Amino acid sequence: MDNGGGRKVKVAAVQFACTDSPSDNLATAERLIREAHNKGANIILIQELFEGHYFCQAQREDFFKRAKPYKNNPTIQKMQEIAKELGVVLPVSFFEEANNAHYNSIAIIDADGTDLGLYRKSHIPDGPGYQEKYYFNPGDTGFKAFITKYAKIGVAICWDQWFPEAARAMAIQGAEILLYPTAIGSEPQDSGLDSCEHWKRVMQGHAGANLVPLVASNRIGTEIIKTEHGDSKITFYGNSFIAGPTGEIVAIANNKEESVFVVEFDLDQIKSQRHGWGVFRDRRPDLYKVLLTLDGQTEKPF
């Protein structure tokens, strides 16, 4: 949005505690989207898999019933209506069923309600409390930069945020803002492990390394899921935040309260800063072939 002094865009992050009722969560998301819009937001990020509890704490066949196809998805259609009414961009996270495949996906809704396309989560975690490999196929869309009314945005999902390659892939395609919807909290197997500060610093690094603003939206609250081994419990630590193009945190929520916050960025000014810093000028893709390997061996000894 050009306001005379540059292309200024207001981005928002929201965070809330999810119930296990899709209709209740959709109503909460809509309320917070409207609050962000009233604060002037143009691009609004909702947390990962916000339609219900984070079911990946358990490996349960009945939870596959939560998946819905991408086309004619009622939650996406509702968000398209809201986006069009308010003139805002909405990335919408959902559990996707695609024939016999399942994905942790996000649809990008432009400010006129148009569905710009789909991103499927590429990196799928598998550990105590976060058993996503049971439910989700690895994403096959590749990393994208979506051209919206207000900015070219890159959107990846939760575990993707730990991989600098994903952030760089979106940035070299021209993403001006990176967005990461998330569901992360305590570790059921180790009550003493708190990844919150590590989680923030990694994404601050993505913002700083690529000289782009970054938005992360996480949930809050404690969720208990029944498993074959008894109850599993995660307390989600919130701390949704917005970082500026040098990695500085410019707005952040706490670990307990529902939040909506908005930050304005001048994308033209940031573009000049990014170009002047030279990190994209001085890249050496011809030397990065090792990144295409798992073991660091570009020439195999066998």
Residues annotated catalytic, as ranges = 48, 121, 158
Query: In the structure, how many helices (H) and strands (E) does the chain have?
Result: 5, 16
What is the arrangement of strands in the sheet containing 214-217, beginning at the earlier edge strand? 146-147, 152-155, 177-181, 214-217, 241-243, 249-252
**What 3-state class would DSSP assign to 266?**
strand
Pairing of strands 152-155, 146-147: antiparallel
Distance CA 88, CA 44 (A): 7
Task: Give the closest residue to 258 by CA, choosing from 221, 296, 231.
Answer: 221
Residue 36: phi and psi, rounded to 5, are: -65, -40
Distance CA 20, CA 38 (A): 27
Helices (H), the chain: 22-38, 74-86, 164-172, 196-210, 267-277
Task: Give the closest residue to 117 by CA, choosing from 146, 90, 88, 138.
Answer: 146
Distance CA 153, CA 173 (A): 10
